[in-house]
C-alpha cells in the first residue's frame, strides 16, 4: 500500500519554482532518505508530503485518499493522528518537563491523561530517558532533547514519520543513536521519510530519493 503519493507536484514561491512537477510515492513500511544539495527542494517536498504546506498544483494522496488542502481542520487531524514529525531543531516547550512535552500530541487527540502518561513513560524509557521524565528541557543534553522530540513524534503511533535533518545538530554518537532508533521503529512497521545531507546516513535507508533543482533525479 502507498502511504503517501505525490502526482505532478509544483510549488511556486514568488517568481521561483521550488518543486517542478514531482511524481513520487512511498510504500508502507519503507525507510526513504531524500538527499540533494542545499536549495534542491528537499524540505519543501517533505513539507508537502507532511501536509504542512500546500502545493501550487498537483495532487497528494494519503493512505489512498486524495488530500483536500482547503480544509485545515481535516489536515490537522491527519497530521496529529497519522503522522509524526522530527525536525533539526527539537521545538520542545521549555516551560514543560520531558513527560509533559511528550504527551502533548496525545492530549490534543483526546487520549486520557493517565493513558497518555503511561505511553510517554514507556517511550522515554525506550529512548534511554527513563528516570528523567520530570526534568525540564534545560536540564538535558542536545542529544537527549532530540530523543524527547522523537518520543513526542511517536506518541500517537503514527503510520508515517517525517524527519527533516534530524541529526543536523548532533555529534556522531547521538547521530548513531537516532539512526538506531529510526531503524528499530521502521522494523516494527512505521514508514519513515528522512531528509538528510549526509550520504552515509541516507545509505542506511531502504531507498534514496535524490533531488536537484526542484526535481527528482533518482528514486
Q: CATH number of the domain that 167 lies in?
A: 3.40.50.300
Is the residue at 2 inside a domain? no
Rounded distance between C-alpha atoms, residue 131 and residue 154, angstroms: 19
Residue 168 reports pLDDT greater than 90: no
Is residue 205 assigned to a domain? Answer: yes
Across residues 181-206, what is the average pLDDT? 93
pLDDT mean over 110-124: 89
Containing domain of residue 197, as a range? 31-54+69-218
**pTM (2 decimals)?**
0.91
- How many domains, the chain? 1
Supply the mean pLDDT for the chain.
Answer: 91
- The answer as to whether 193 is a domain residue is yes
Residue 77 lies in a domain: yes
pLDDT average, residue stretch 54-81: 92
pLDDT of 175 above 90: no
- Contacts of residue 3, defined as CB under 8 A and 6 or more positions apart, other chains included, come to 26, 27, 28, 30, 62, 63, 159, 160, 191
With a cut of 90, say whether residue 35 has pLDDT above it. yes
Confidence bin at 172 (pLDDT 50/70/90):
confident
Asked if residues 96 and 106 have their Cβ atoms less than 8 Å apart, the reply is no
3-state helix, strand, coil in the chain (%, to 5): 35, 30, 35
Q: Is residue 163 part of a domain?
A: yes
72 pLDDT more than 90: no
pLDDT at 183: 93
Element (H, E) at 33: strand 31-36
Q: 115 or 191: whose pLDDT is higher? A: 191
Residue 21 scores a pLDDT above 90 = yes
The C-alpha torsion from 50 through 55 and 57 to 59, rounded to 10°, is 10
Amino acid at each position: 500500500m502507498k502511504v503517501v503519493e505525490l502526482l505532478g507536484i509544483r510549488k511556486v514561491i514568488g517568481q521561483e519554482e521550488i518543486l517542478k512537477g514531482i511524481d513520487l510515492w512511498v510504500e508502507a513500511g519503507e525507510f526513504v532518505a531524500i538527499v540533494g544539495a542545499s536549495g534542491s527542494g528537499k524540505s519543501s517536498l517533505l513539507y508537502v508530503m507532511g501536509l504542512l504546506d500546500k502545493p501550487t498544483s498537483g495532487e497528494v494522496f494519503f493512505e489512498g485518499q486524495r488530500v483536500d488542502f482547503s480544509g485545515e481542520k481535516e489536515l490537522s487531524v491527519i497530521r496529529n493522528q497519522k503522522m509524526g514529525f522530527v525536525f533539526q531543531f527539537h521545538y520542545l516547550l521549555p516551560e514543560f518537563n520531558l513527560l509533559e512535552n511528550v504527551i502533548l500530541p496525545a492530549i490534543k487527540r483526546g487520549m486520557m491523561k493517565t493513558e497518555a502518561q503511561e505511553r510517554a513513560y514507556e517511550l522515554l524509557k525506550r529512548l534511554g530517558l527513563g528516570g528523567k521524565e520530570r526534568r525540564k528541557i534545560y536540564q538535558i543534553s542536545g542529544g537527549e532533547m532530540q530523543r524527547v522530540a522523537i518520543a513526542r513524534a511517536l506518541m500517537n503511533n503514527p503510520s508515517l514519520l517525517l524527519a527533516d535533518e534530524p541529526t543536523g545538530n548532533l555529534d556522531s554518537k547521538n547521530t548513531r543513536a537516532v539512526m538506531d532508533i529510526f531503524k528499530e521503529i521502521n522494523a516494527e512497521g512505521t514508514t519513515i521519510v528522512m531528509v538528510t545531507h549526509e550520504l552515509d546516513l541516507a545509505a542506511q535507508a531502504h531507498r534514496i530519493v535524490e533531488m536537484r533543482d526542484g526535481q527528482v533525479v533518482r528514486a
